[in-house]
């Protein structure tokens, strides 16, 4: 989306890459990580010249390297990669599969919003902290209004980043994997076709990693119940998913996490232990990288409210 001044709202700087979910900026992050990998491959004797001071760069979820992933010796199970090629990954853990089935059942039981109109907006309030060149940002509030049909100008309010009521004009034509509510209503309602859809989108836009797509379309979106259930059942088919039965989101809420690790980064999708409702996500380095040390948190979020409203800027 593009920012646009509007007489009803104060003007503010154009949103940076962080203003939209990382899934909207996959090409940018892919370019970033390509540069990082090239830098890693150079010898220390070929150190680059000192770089000129740069503007503070927001966190972009590291792109996940395509190719073989080391199988878990403890799991003792290998499955053929659904992404093509000769790679193999550890099978999803039984605990993760069982939990995702419970999460899917709860999602299917959740009430769908009634009489949603194309000119309405999905309002999402969250607490977020993202890593930048200066380390992890302080935890702060973020509010965003996203068009139900993806064709109306939305709004972002994140004052800590100098984004005060920034109008967000839609980028047309819409992609067939855009996470607006109308698009999500068109997704498959069975896990087999949903899994195929995840792989297709992943091959095209997340370097072949369906778990990345799952996080990208749930981060700031309103999922219809049938599609949400299919999505979580499809996630249970992704090789390498694990269960963390004691996770904490950015708001301090304890729950469980479905995790997936690759290329030194662990992605975590957090859910309420009792209701199985989506809480938020975390991204943590599991090994030292040029952009951070092992254990460093790259992203920490918690969704606090998610509703359909009539106008951008209206709060429930």
* Model confidence pLDDT, tens digit, residues 83-135: 333 334 689 999 999 999 999 999 999 999 999 999 999 999 999 999 887 88
**What integer pLDDT is reported at residue 57 of this predicted model?**
32
Count CA atoms within 13 Å of residue 169 on its CB side.
7
User: Is residue 316 domain-resident?
Assistant: no
For residues 124 and 142, what is the distance between their CA atoms, to the nearest angstrom? 8
Cα torsion 29, 35, 36, 38: sign: positive
Q: Do residues 281 and 269 lie in contact, with contact meaning Cβ atoms separated by under 8 Å?
A: yes
Q: From residue 39, give the alpha-carbon distance in Å to each of 7, 45, 57, 183, 246.
A: 45, 12, 18, 39, 36
Rounded mean pLDDT of the chain? 78
* Model confidence pLDDT, tens digit, residues 152-200: 999 999 999 889 999 999 999 998 889 999 999 999 999 999 999 999 9
User: Is residue 314 domain-resident?
Assistant: no
User: Is residue 63 domain-resident?
Assistant: yes
User: Is residue 315 domain-resident?
Assistant: no
This prediction's pTM: 0.76
User: Is residue 198 domain-resident?
Assistant: yes
Helices (H) and strands (E) in the chain, counts: 6, 13
User: Is residue 207 domain-resident?
Assistant: yes
* Model confidence pLDDT, tens digit, residues 8-67: 444 444 444 444 333 333 333 433 333 333 344 443 344 444 333 322 233 333 222 222
For residues 286 and 62, what is the distance between their CA atoms, to the nearest angstrom? 13
Domain boundaries, position 228: 2-309
∠ Cα 211 299 93 (to 5°)? 35
Q: How many domains, in total, are found in the chain?
A: 1
């Amino acid at each position: 989306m593009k920012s646009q001044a509007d007489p009803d709202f104060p003007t503010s700087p154009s949103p940076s890459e962080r203003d939209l979910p990382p899934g909207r900026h996959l090409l940018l992050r892919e370019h970033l990580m390509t540069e990082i990998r090239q830098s890693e491959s150079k010898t220390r004797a070929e150190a680059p010249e000192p770089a000129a001071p740069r503007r503070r760069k927001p966190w972009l979820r590291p792109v996940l390297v395509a190719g073989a992933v080391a199988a878990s010796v403890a799991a003792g199970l290998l499955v053929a990669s659904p992404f093509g090629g000769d790679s193999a990954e550890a099978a999803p853990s039984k605990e993760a599969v069982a939990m995702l089935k419970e999460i899917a059942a709860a999602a299917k039981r959740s009430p769908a919003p009634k009489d949603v109109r194309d000119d309405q907006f999905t309002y999402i309030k969250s607490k977020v902290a993202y890593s930048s060149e200066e380390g992890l940002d302080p935890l702060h509030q973020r509010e965003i209004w996203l068009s139900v049909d993806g064709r109306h100008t939305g709004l972002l309010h994140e004052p800590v980043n100098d984004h005060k009521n920034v109008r967000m004009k839609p980028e047309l034509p819409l992609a067939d994997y855009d996470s607006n509510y109308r698009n999500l209503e068109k997704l498959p309602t069975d896990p087999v076709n949903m899994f195929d859809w995840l792989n297709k989108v992943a091959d095209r836009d997340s370097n072949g990693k369906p778990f990345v797509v799952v996080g990208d379309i749930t981060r700031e979106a309103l999922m219809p119940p049938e599609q949400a259930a299919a999505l979580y059942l499809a996630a249970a088919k992704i090789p390498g998913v694990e269960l963390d039965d004691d996770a904490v989101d950015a708001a301090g809420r304890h729950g469980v996490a479905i995790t997936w690790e690759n290329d030194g980064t662990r992605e975590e999708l957090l859910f309420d232990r009792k209701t199985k409702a989506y809480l938020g996500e975390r991204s943590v380095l599991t090994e030292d990288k040029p952009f951070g040390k092992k254990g460093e948190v790259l992203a920490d979020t918690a969704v606090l409210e998610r509703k359909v409203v009539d106008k951008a800027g209206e709060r429930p």
